[in-house]
Structure 1
Amino acid sequence: MAEEPAAPTDATFRPARGRRRDEPARHRSLTHRQQPARPEGTTRAARRLARARRRRRYAVEALAAFAGLLVLVAFVDWWSEPGLEDPAESNGLPAVVGRPLLPSPVPTAMAVPGLQPRERSPSPSPSGSPAPSTPVVAPMTLAVSRADIPDTVDLTESGRRDWLHWGLGGGATTVRKRDGSGELRDLGGRGERSGWDGNQELFRWRDGAPVRSVDATPDGVYTCGTGNGFELAVVADGQPRTATVHLGVWMARGRLDLRLSGGGPSRTMRLEERHTSSSTQVTIRFQAPKGTRLLISWTVEETFTPHCGNVGLQAAALR
């Protein structure tokens, strides 16, 4: 006969905490899926470990998000840089950018109507540095006229800047203004000069050298033969000047050529007398740059006698 199973005692069976005593026996048996209870210290450690894992995960996710933000900023900055076809403007920004430009706190120039976008009005010239001035070049002018010589010519008055007189006591003598400008020059000429004291016009001065003063003299010089004559020059100083030359012919035709050096204008005048002598006063008004020369050539163009047809010269004055 089979033995009856022993009834459970309090030493071998205790109902689970929190279960009702009237639940079926299969739920109360230790051998049917019953798990032992976890100690309280083990549960707290597990929770701390879980929290630590969550914090590490959050940190890793935040670091990944920050790295992605840096990559995005670098990409946007690279995209906004000017390329070869978008040159940078003078203020350092590209001509075409995706971000708006802030207005400048200090206005650079006044707005000019009609400017296109990104056009700038021209910058004014700085007041402290004026534009360099171009030096004014004197014009080159030349005019000539003639008239009868007065009975007496005062060279001190007519030649306030300079004067010359030829033939006082002989063909080799020249008297000029003492302390004059020196702008009247005797360049010589072809043919031999000879003195003549039979001129109808008289000359005087009181500021000469080497002869200080003369009250009246008819003296002058002449040269014979076709092609012979005198060469004079007047140095210009850029201002309008007037030169007066007293000359004549004897049984000849004389040719007076005037020209400004350096490609300036020129003039020609003739004086002719076939039977006796004739004299005239030639007035030359000119202006030329400083250093330019008025060149005067007085020569025999044709003679009407085999006995020394000639051209003569008495005086020249400059004012």
Structure 2
Amino acid sequence: MADEDRTRDGARAGDEPTGRPASHRPRTVATGLNGRTLRRLARTRQRRRWALEGLGALVCLGLLVAYLGTRSGPESDGPVGGAGGVPAGATRPTAFPAADGHATDTGPALPGLRPRERPPSPEPTPSTSTPAPPPRKPGASLLSVSRAEVPAEVDLTTVGARDWMHWGLRGGTSTVRKRSGSGEIVDAGGRGNRIGWDGNQEVVRWSDGAPERFDSGSSNGVYTCGAGNGFTLAVVGSGAPRTVQLYAGIWMARGRLDARLSTGGPVSTVRLEDPYTSQSAVFTIRFELPKDARLVLTWTVEKVFTEHCGNVGLQAVALR
């Protein structure tokens, strides 16, 4: 009878309508809140989310500004740091000898500086030279001077076809000359105490030297410290055009090369400067002089950037 009542009157109260499973019954959640209150709550949540996102963006922006402030600061107008204008952390190049002649090993002169890398100078000093002299009368003297970077290796036997000379192989007073050379290169002395060292970035080799016949790659040279000190060389004229190549360097100093002729005329000057570390150069001097007249070269310290032996160095000179 109960089954008949169910069939006749349909589902009882609380039963699912015929043909729809109970699992698909629509559900109604009674929250006790009307539509206006729900919309107000939704807007409140949205504003809170926007506020949090804005705060996060401001924090990120502040971190970015702080990072950029540590990466870029005002550039200094000159050397800063310790005594004598030495940058903080700068020391002498590896194996650079002290003023007493004893070698030190204090690491690279500037943190992160790679060999043969040239830092910019805060005091660029223009160099004067005469690479293209004006036409001259027959028999008149000729002089021009230029500067370039030194090759990593120099063969003195090749570049010094007429004569060559090397300094510092066995200490500050040691010299090696071209065997059976012309003898036109003259070491005329200079001011300051010469000290030998073996830390040149470039090396020289030869196969026709005296008293050392061979050397496969010497980094030795000599240097002298202090403003006004340096080296004086002379090359004797032969009446024919000649080319001199002078291999020299500096350490935390400005070096000045003056080239003049004993017959008179203007002096040609070229400078090399590095306030932070060492630097090398090859100076090429082309000249023509009557026989027995002389080309005179002076390589001196014009300015130092440290109290600790700012200097000029001399490695070799070749004539062809």
Tell me, in whole angstroms, the C-alpha distance in 1 between the residues paired with 2:185 and 2:265: 19
Once residues 218 and 199 of structure 2 are traced to their aligned partners in structure 1, the CA distance between those partners, rounded to angstroms, is 10
* In 2: Cα distance, 1:178 partner to 1:171 partner: 21
Residue identity opposite 1:258 in structure 2: A
User: Offset of 1:266 from its aligned partner?
Assistant: 2.1
Q: Tell me how far 1:264 sits from its aligned partner.
A: 3.2
Q: Deviations over 1:181-226 (max 9, x none)?
A: 0000000100000011011101100110011110111000000011
Specify the alignment match of 1:289 in structure 2. 290
Partner AA of 1:255 in structure 2: R
Cα offset, 1:137, TM superposition: 6.3
Which letter maps to 1:230? Answer: F
Aligned length: 184
Please state how far the C-alpha of 1:169 moved relative to its aligned partner: 2.4
Shift of 1:276: 0.3
Amino acid corresponding to residue 268 of structure 1 in structure 2: T
Query: 1:224 is matched with which residue?
Result: 225
What residue number does 2:107 align with?
A: none
Where does residue 19 of structure 2 map in the other structure?
Answer: none
| 1:159 matched residue in structure 2 | 160
Structure 2, unpaired ranges of 5+: 1-136
CA contact (8 A) 1:250 1:310 kept: yes
Is the Cα–Cα contact under 8 Å of residues 142 and 265 in structure 1 kept in the other structure? no
- The match for 1:246 is 247
CA-CA distance at 1:313 after TM superposition? 0.3
Alignment partner, residue 148 of structure 1: 149
Residue in 2 that maps onto 1:66: none
Paired position in structure 2 for 1:169 = 170
Q: Which amino acid aligns with 2:173?
A: A
Equivalence map 1:73-88=2 (5 Å): none
Whether the 8 Å contact between 1:235 and 1:292 is mirrored in structure 2 is yes
Q: 1:1-46 deviations in whole A, cap 9, x for unaligned? A: xxxxxxxxxxxxxxxxxxxxxxxxxxxxxxxxxxxxxxxxxxxxxx
- Whole-angstrom distance in 2 between the partners of 1:148 and 1:270: 13
Give the equivalent residue in structure 1 for 2:212: 211
Which AA in structure 1 matches 2:307?
P
Indicate if the aligned counterparts of 1:138 and 1:239 stay in contact, CA closer than 8 A. Answer: no
User: What's the CA shift for 1:231?
Assistant: 0.3
Retained in 2: the 8 A contact 1:142–1:266? no
Cα offsets for 1:87-109 (capped at 9, x unmatched): xxxxxxxxxxxxxxxxxxxxxxx
Secondary structure of 1:259's counterpart equals strand
Measure the CA separation in 2 of the matches of 1:263 and 1:166.
Answer: 29
Q: CA deviation at 1:262?
A: 1.9
1:3-18 equivalent positions in 2, closer than 5 A: none
TM-score of the two chains, using structure 2 as the length reference: 0.56
| C-alpha distance in 1 between matches for 2:149 and 2:236 | 26
Confirm or deny: 8 A CA contact 1:166 1:173 kept in the other structure. yes
2:315 and 2:139 mapped to 1: Cα distance? 31
Tell me which residue corresponds to 1:18: none
For residues 256 and 285 of structure 1, the distance between their equivalents in structure 2, rounded to whole angstroms, comes to: 14
Q: Distance in 2 between matches of 1:257 and 1:144?
A: 9
Q: Structure 1 regions of 5+ residues with no counterpart?
A: 1-135
Aligned to 1:234: 235
> Are the equivalent residues in 2 in contact too, given 1:259–1:266 (CA < 8 A)?
yes
Matched residue, 2:47: none
Give 1:263's aligned residue: 264
Q: Amino acid of the residue matched to residue 283 of structure 2?
A: V
Q: Which residue of 1 aligns with 2:303?
A: 302
Describe the superposition over 1:277-307 as per-residue Cα deviations: whole angstroms up to 9, x where unpaired. 0110000011111111000000111100000
Matches within 5 A, 1:124-135: none
The 3-state SS of whatever aligns with 1:312 is: strand
Determine if contact 2:147/2:270 at 8 Å carries over to the other structure.
no
**Counterparts of 1:160 and 1:250, CA distance in 2:** 30
Equivalent in the alignment of 2:184: 183
User: Matched residues in 2 for 1:236 and 1:138: separation?
Assistant: 12
What residue in structure 2 maps to residue 279 of structure 1?
280
State how far apart, in whole Å, the 1-side matches of 2:139 and 2:152 are.
36
State the identity %: 62
Partner in structure 1 of residue 13 of structure 2: none
Helix, strand or coil at the partner of 1:204: strand
> Taking structure 1 as the reference length, what is the TM-score of the superposition?
0.57
Indicate if the aligned counterparts of 1:258 and 1:267 stay in contact, CA closer than 8 A: yes
| Aligned partner letter, 2:180 | D
**Aligned-pair distance for 1:138?**
2.4
